[in-house]
């Protein structure tokens, strides 16, 4: 069950005073979103676990800056997104290209096909769709990839993404619309 904002504010207050248990609860609740965002925003081969750990440490050290106006999860994901952006900028990496070379057999989503229709053709199509999605997300321009990751991998709504990236909701909609347009087209192409 997700924490209510008031609970999170209280937990953050306890953590700020050095309560390790409170800090642990906060991290545990939102770490999956941080993992997902880091995995999608950093290039393959990058130390995702290191990025997540650094995100958590930055958050814990900066608890004084958490005002409680938004969710703790959104705040944490914002730190993760900024950290990934910093790493990419520092290493002068362009938005990363996937290392896999186009054949979608590299993907492993066997379970994507509904259990009632486990035909091999559908399995292959599902693999292809997921592989296309991964590649297309990786090819998106940085900003579009960010909003896509925050929406679909971190589960933030439009307002949450806007708050996380410190932009207005209209800007988020524009980037997200373009991103979804591209990714959906690629997915549908792979699974007509």
Partner 1 sequence: MTIKHLTDDELDLVLIGEELSAEAAEHLSSCVACRRRRDGFLAAVGETLDDDPDEATRARVRDAALAAWGGSRRNHHWVRWVAAAAAAVVLALLPLVKSELAPRPRINTDAVLTEVDDVLSRDPLAAAAPEEVVEAVAPAPETGGEGSWS
Residues at the contact surface with partner 1, assessed by CB under 8 A: 18, 20, 23-24, 27-28, 31-32, 35-36, 39, 49, 52-54, 56-57, 60-61, 108-109, 111-112, 126, 129-130, 132-134, 137, 151-153, 157-158, 173, 176-177, 180-181, 183-185, 187-188, 191
DSSP H helices, the chain, are: 5-16, 20-41, 48-61, 72-90, 120-139, 142-148, 158-165, 169-190
**Residue 39 CB, nearest distance to partner 1 (Å)?**
7
Q: Based on CB atoms, which residue is closest to partner 1, 139 or 173?
A: 173
Q: Based on CB atoms, which residue is closest to partner 1, 79 or 92?
A: 79
Q: Based on CB atoms, which residue is closest to partner 1, 51 or 92?
A: 51
**Residue 29 CB, nearest distance to partner 1 (Å)?**
11
**Residue 68 CB, nearest distance to partner 1 (Å)?**
20
Q: How far apart are CA 30 and CA 164, in angstroms?
A: 14
Say which DSSP state 2 is in: P
**Residue 6 CB, nearest distance to partner 1 (Å)?**
23
Q: Based on CB atoms, which residue is closest to partner 1, 93 or 185?
A: 185
Q: Based on CB atoms, which residue is closest to partner 1, 70 or 109?
A: 109
**Residue 181 CB, nearest distance to partner 1 (Å)?**
6
Task: Measure CA 184 to chain center.
Answer: 17
Tokens encoding 51: 């990025």
Instruction: Output the furthest CA–CA distance in the chain (Å, rounded).
Output: 57
Q: Based on CB atoms, which residue is closest to partner 1, 78 or 176?
A: 176
- What is the torsion angle, in degrees rounded to the nearest 10, for the CA atoms of residue 154, residue 16, residue 66 and residue 73? 10
Q: Give me the count of residues in the chain.
A: 192
Closest alpha carbon to 78 in 58, 96, 95: 58
**Residue 92 CB, nearest distance to partner 1 (Å)?**
27
Q: How far apart are CA 39 and CA 84, in angstroms?
A: 9
């Amino acid at each position: 069950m997700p924490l209510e904002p008031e609970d999170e504010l209280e937990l953050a207050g306890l953590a700020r005073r050095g309560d390790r248990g409170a800090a642990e609860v906060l991290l545990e609740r939102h770490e999956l979103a941080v993992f997902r965002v880091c995995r999608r925003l950093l290039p393959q081969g990058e130390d995702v676990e290191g990025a997540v750990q650094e995100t958590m440490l930055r958050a814990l050290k900066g608890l004084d800056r958490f005002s409680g106006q938004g969710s703790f999860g959104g705040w944490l994901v914002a730190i993760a997104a900024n950290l990934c952006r910093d790493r990419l900028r520092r290493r002068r990496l362009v938005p990363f290209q996937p290392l896999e070379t186009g054949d979608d057999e590299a993907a492993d989503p066997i379970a994507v096909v509904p259990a009632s229709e486990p035909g091999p053709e559908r399995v292959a199509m599902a693999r292809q769709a997921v592989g296309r999605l991964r590649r297309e997300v990786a090819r998106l321009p940085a900003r579009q990839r960010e909003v896509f990751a925050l929406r679909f991998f971190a589960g933030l709504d439009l307002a949450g993404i806007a708050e996380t990236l410190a932009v207005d909701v209209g800007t988020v909609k524009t980037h997200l619309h373009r991103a979804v347009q591209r990714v959906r087209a690629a997915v549908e192409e792979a699974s007509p």
